[in-house]
Amino acid sequence: MNKCAERLYNGIIKENPTFVLMLGMCPTLAVTTTAINGVGMGLSTTAVLVFSNLIISALRKIIPDRVRIPAYIVIVASLVTIVQLLLQAYIPSLYESLGIYIPLIVVNCIILGRAEAYAAKNGVVESAFDGIGMGLGFTVGLTCIAIFREILGGGAVFGMEFIPEDFRITIFGLAPGAFFVLAGLTALQNKFKAPSATNGSAPKSSLACGGNCASCNGLACASNHSTLEEIRRKEEEKAAQAKKEAALKAAAAKKEAEAKKAAQAAAAADAAGTEKAGE
Amino acid sequence: MKELILIIVGSALVNNIILSQFQGLCPFLGVSKKVDTSIGMGGAVIFVITLACIATNLVYSLVLVPLHLEYLQTIAFILVIAALVQFVEMFLKKNVPSLYQALGVFLPLITTNCAVLGAALTNVQKGYNFIFSVANGVGTAVGFTIAIVLLASIRESIEDNDIPFNFQGSPIVLITSGLMAIAFLGFSGLI
């Protein structure tokens, strides 16, 4: 149970996907025009993330290693379609305002990233809690940015008015404002040297590309792919060699044990013989 | 014809995929350090988005609509795009090595780029027919290329500038993109 709580803490604070890992920047900037959109997007992503982690971790021993990425994409895309249909049926207003960004959850790096980095290696319960933690972390991040933007740009948040109409900075509600808010955020992270992907001190994610979009020069993907393959091959070789050695050792040990046994038996027989002779 | 031009201008400049839709931000921020690489990335994106729009439009209108499976569009599109990018990569490697040299490294990056899926889904949402879909795809990709090449040239020229410590690295890039987004807001009067 402790591990589950640790997963939640990890997702919400230590490796917050928005503030620390800087993953999924596309929805982060696009839907944070109003706080309600931010919450909606965060919770939709959380739902997809929890179930994708759950299913992928349950199927992790069945999915062959070579086709795991397409398999993950199919699972995630099915879940996103379910979420999309549910939103369309029950919260049409949110469906309207999020628009194309709901199907785009499929290509959100957080989801495939967590599947690859966590769910593919860990048990079902921990993976589900990892999904909850990461999803809530994402929701918190989106909501904070959205509240900031909505107060500055629209003057009101969740129906409460803070800034009178003449003093609003409309640009924060528009596209450029998203860039400025994120720029301010990353500048603050640089100033306080907070752990973040932007200043290179983020905890290294085990994502294939390191999960660091900001400092990626575009070549990381291809080269990482080959290095990963190489590492895997080396590991396999090592494992094979270790296995061989272990087998040899085991055989040697067995032989030795047998020899010892035989010697013991012989000794025992000898002893018995001498004893008998003694009698 | 007029509609076609409107669609291309609209998707390239007015609703620029990066600066107003925020799709494809990862390569936009990541691959914009040098003009050369950004041109390569732009070329690859134009290539892939155009092909993806053709393929997804065909899949949608010839397979999904007749079978009443429109709700499977997200799954179908992402699989078609992933398969297409793989296929294009293999084809280029074998038959057009020079183009592969130029674009090859960028192709795997594009598979899960939201810009490609976004363009395909926009076509369906707006109910574009085949020609309009391709036009929208080309426009979107050209918009991406314009934005990324502009950002790369700005980044090259501010490389030696004295930027305050806190704003070094990604903050200054984001502020640059924000200013570019303001400039692109001016295009909204075009249509």
Check pLDDT > 50 for residue B89: yes
pLDDT band at B67 (very low <50, low <70, confident <90, very high): very high
CB–CB contact B74 A182 (8 Å): no
pTM of the model: 0.77
Whether residue A63 lies within 8 A of chain B, CB to CB, comes out as no
The position carrying tokens 């040297």 is A193
> For all residues of chain A together, what is the average pLDDT?
81
Asked whether the beta carbons of residue B79 and residue A73 sit closer than 8 angstroms, the reply is yes
Cα–Cα distance, B155 to A223 (Å, whole number) = 24
Q: Which of A248, A269, A247, A250 is nearest to A258 (CA)?
A: A250
Whether residue B114 and residue A70 make contact (CB cut-off 8 A), yes or no, is no
Element (H, E) at A160: strand A160-161
Confirm or reject contact between B125 and chain A (CB < 8 A).
Answer: yes
Amino acid in the structure at residue A182: L
Q: In this complex, do A218 and B37 lie within 8 Å of one another by their Cβ atoms?
A: yes
**Residue B106 contacts A where some CB pair is shorter than 8 Å:** yes
Q: Check CB contact under 8 Å for B121 and A213.
A: no
> pLDDT tens digit string along A160-214?
888 888 888 888 888 889 999 989 888 888 888 777 666 554 444 444 444 444 4
Q: At A268, phi and psi to the nearest 5?
A: -60, -45
* Chain length of chain B: 191
* φ/ψ of residue A160, rounded to 5: -100, 130
Q: Which residues of chain A neighbour B114 with C-beta distances below 8 Å? A: 26, 104, 107
Residues of B in contact with A52 (CB under 8 A): none
Q: Are B107 and B86 in contact (CB under 8 A)?
A: no
- Minimal Cα distance from B122: which residue of A? A100
Cα B129 to Cα B58: distance, rounded to the nearest angstrom? 10
Q: Where are the domains of chain A?
A: 3-214, 224-279
Best of A31, A107, A198, A215 to disrupt the B interface (most B CBs within 10 Å) is A107
**Picking from A69-78, A268-277, B10-19, B20-29, which range would have the lowest pLDDT averaged per residue?**
A268-277
**Which residue of B25, B37, B182 is in closest CB contact with A26?**
B25
CA–centroid distance for B57 within its chain: 17
Closest residue of B to A171, CA-based? B182
Residues of A in contact with B154 (CB under 8 A): none
Q: What pLDDT is recorded for position B151? A: 93
Per-residue pLDDT for B93 more than 90?
Answer: no
Average pLDDT of every residue of chain B = 87
The string of pLDDT tens digits covering residues B161-191 is 888 888 888 889 899 999 999 999 888 877 7
B-chain CB neighbours of A174 within 8 Å are 181, 185
- Residues of B within 8 A of A70 (CB-CB) are 79, 82
* Nearest chain A residue (CA) to B105: A222
Strands (E), A39-141: none
Distances (CA, A) of A76 to A47, A50, A139, A219: 11, 10, 18, 26
DSSP class of residue B60? I
| 8 Å CB contact of A103 and B41 | no
- Secondary structure in 3-state letters for B21-36: CCCCHHHHHHCCCCHH
- Compute the distance between CA of residue A212 and CA of residue A202 in angstroms, rounded to an integer: 9
Q: How far away is chain B from the Cα of A90, in angstroms, using its nearest Cα?
A: 16
CB B40 within 8 A of CB B98: no
Residue A273 has pLDDT above 70, yes or no: no
Kindly tell me the burial class for residue A275, based on how many C-beta atoms sit within 10 Å of its own C-beta (0-12, 13-18, 19 or more): exposed
CB of B147 within 8 A of CB of B45? Answer: no
Per-residue pLDDT reduced to its tens digit, A59-118: 989 988 888 888 998 999 999 999 999 999 999 999 999 888 999 888 888 888 888 888
The reply to whether residue B29 touches residue A29, judged by beta carbons under 8 angstroms, is no
Poorest-confidence range of A128-132, A176-180, A275-279, B158-162? Answer: A275-279
- Which position has the higher pLDDT, B72 or A250? B72
Spatial separation of the C-alpha atoms in residues A126 and A248, rounded to whole Å = 38
Picking from B24, B74, B184, the nearest residue to A106 by CB comes out as: B74
* Among B residues 149-188, those touching chain A with beta carbons less than 8 Å apart: 165-172, 174-175, 177-179, 181-182, 184-185
Q: Which of B117, B89, B79 is nearest to A105 (CA)?
A: B117
Measuring CA to CA, which residue among A134, A163, A171 is closest to residue A46? Answer: A134
CB A58 within 8 A of CB A128: no
Q: Do A176 and B182 touch (CB under 8 A)?
A: yes
Residues of A in contact with B19 (CB under 8 A): 175
Task: State pLDDT tens for residues A206-237.
Answer: 444 444 444 444 444 444 555 566 777 788 88
DSSP B17: T
